[in-house]
Structure 1
Amino acid sequence: MVTQEDIQAGQSPYNPFILFTYDFFVLGLSNHLIWKCPTQKILDFYNQNITSNHLDVGVGTGYFLDKCNFPAAKIRLGLMDLNINSLKATEKRISRYNPEIYNHNVYSPMNSKVEGFDSIGINYLLHCLPGNMLNKADVFQNLNIYLNSGGKIFGSTLLQGGVERSPIAKKLMEIYNEKKIFTNVDDDLDSLEKILHDNYTEHSISISGCAALFWAIKN
């Protein structure tokens, strides 16, 4: 069972200082050297899957929303995160899009009156969420409420099972799990495959290093 304490612990590391250094250390170094999933590859994945009616969940610093190419000039963009620091940083970075802000915990459904989105991005979210993969399946079900029929959910996550991890990647994941920055000890490729298969009509997973890049389409 995921407790409120677990949820708060997972988002608490993202203070203003960490966010200030995030793009350099995580996107600039860790993705390339440790996780072996280059940031450009994730950005390309965004460009392939994002729509102009998009909700981003677990927004980080807003790097990908800032750099990606939306397919149309008229953009509706929503930001969802439990961490107010991440929301403020991203809102400021992409203020040109006048984003909708949702300070919300993905383990509970949001107000159903929210107008649906055609795409939902959950980049590097799952491995930061508390609980096992069975718990994390609830997140997809909650977000599906706000995904229009035929819409696409996409993202990436760092796995421990079913992927190749270097010794340094294993050690860093161990440290991050001890500090509750990550909760992905039980996250594996087979479990992710099952979640997508059970909840969507069509899906795809590709592997880059120890990261899974995935998309799925709602019926």
Structure 2
Amino acid sequence: MTPSAGEVVRMARDEVIAGQAVYNRTVLAGYDLYVLGFSCRLIWRCPKRLMLANYDRNVGERHLELGAGTAYFPDRCRFPGPAPTLTLADMNPTVLRVSAARIARYRPTTIRADVLQPLPFDDDRLRAGGYDSVGANFLLHCLPGTWAEKGAVLDNAKTALRPGGRFFGSTILSSGVPTTAPARRLMRIYNARGIFHNHGDDLAGLRAQLDARFQDVRVTVRGCVALFEAAAPDDPAR
């Protein structure tokens, strides 16, 4: 029997909860070394310096990070000024605590939220149109659903940005990009465990989602990673 719309939403949320639960303090302690070091360079074939360069090109004074991770890149990137305003949004409270502690010098605001759902822009801490940049690094391949469903993340980013603000990040793709045998094997393992949900993620689909919402879209492929950057439309109604 075909599930109802409500059941589909609940199933997707359950997958999000299960996927993010793996990021406990032990996993986060080794994330920079294993994922951003070993896996990025040798498996996904996209060294972290390219992701850092993406931040340096696009990050603004008022920045929203969707999927906070360990805050490795907000910690190391070059902000336009010495006192940026940072907001971290993630469903996992452990991730928020760890990432906020790492960049405590910036006194970031934390928002616990499912990025596949509309963000709580009625919250005084999160203002629609209030950000110069929104980052979504290594986030999309962890989220369940088709590109159309993952597009909710891009909707949130577009709503958060001022006209001309920058949306950027990276994601691991399973098709439309060169993949090695080790990369395909690790993706199969991660998808089976619910850590990744990228078995249907292709380059053309990512580009279509970005083009539908943003302007000046640029997508660069390194290995099986797509690094993207784009601008919010000058006309918010676009």
TM-score w.r.t. the length of structure 2 is 0.90
- The count of residues paired between Structure 1 and Structure 2 equals 219
Aligned residue in 1 for 2:236: none
1:148 aligned to 162, 167, 182, which one?
Answer: 162
Alpha-carbon distance, 1:112 to partner: 2.2
Q: Does the alignment pair 1:124 with 2:138?
A: yes
Mapped to 2, the partners of 1:24 and 1:130 lie a distance apart of 25
Alpha-carbon distance, 1:142 to partner: 2.4
- Structure 2 segments unaligned to the other structure (5+ residues): 1-7, 234-238
Q: Does the alignment pair 1:63 with 2:72?
A: yes
Q: Is the 8 A contact 2:66 2:136 kept in 1?
A: yes
The runs of at least 4 aligned residues of structure 1 exceeding 3 Å deviation read none
Aligned pairs (5 A) from 1:41-60: 41-60=50-69
Aligned residue in 2 for 1:174: 188
Alpha-carbon distance, 1:146 to partner: 1.2
1:110 aligned to 94, 113, 119, which one?
Answer: 119
SS in 2 for 1:174: helix
Paired letter, 2:185? K
Mapped to 2, the partners of 1:143 and 1:119 lie a distance apart of 9
SS in 1 for 2:80: coil
Alpha-carbon distance, 1:56 to partner: 0.6
Aligned pairs (5 A) from 1:19-98: 19-98=28-107
Q: Is the 8 A contact 1:163 1:209 kept in 2?
A: yes
Q: Does the alignment pair 1:193 with 2:193?
A: no
Mapped to 1, the partners of 2:16 and 2:106 lie a distance apart of 29
Bigger CA drift: 37-46 or 171-180? 37-46
Aligned residue in 2 for 1:203: 217
Alpha-carbon distance, 1:7 to partner: 1.5
Paired letter, 1:26? V
Q: Is the 8 A contact 1:81 1:103 kept in 2?
A: yes
Mapped to 2, the partners of 1:149 and 1:32 lie a distance apart of 35
Q: Is the 8 A contact 2:133 2:166 kept in 1?
A: yes
Greater Cα radius of gyration, structure 1 or 2: 2
Bigger CA drift: 183-192 or 4-13? 4-13
Q: Deviations over 1:140-174 (max 9, x none)?
A: 11232211111111000000111011100000000
Paired letter, 1:48? R
Paired letter, 2:132? D
Aligned residue in 2 for 1:163: 177
Paired letter, 2:85? R
Paired letter, 2:58? N
Q: Deviations over 1:97-152 (max 9, x none)?
A: 00011111111112223221110000000000011111101221123221111111
SS in 1 for 2:153: helix
Identical-residue share of aligned pairs (%): 41
TM-score w.r.t. the length of structure 1 is 0.97
Mapped to 1, the partners of 2:186 and 2:49 lie a distance apart of 22
Paired letter, 1:133? W
Q: Is the 8 A contact 1:106 1:143 kept in 2?
A: no
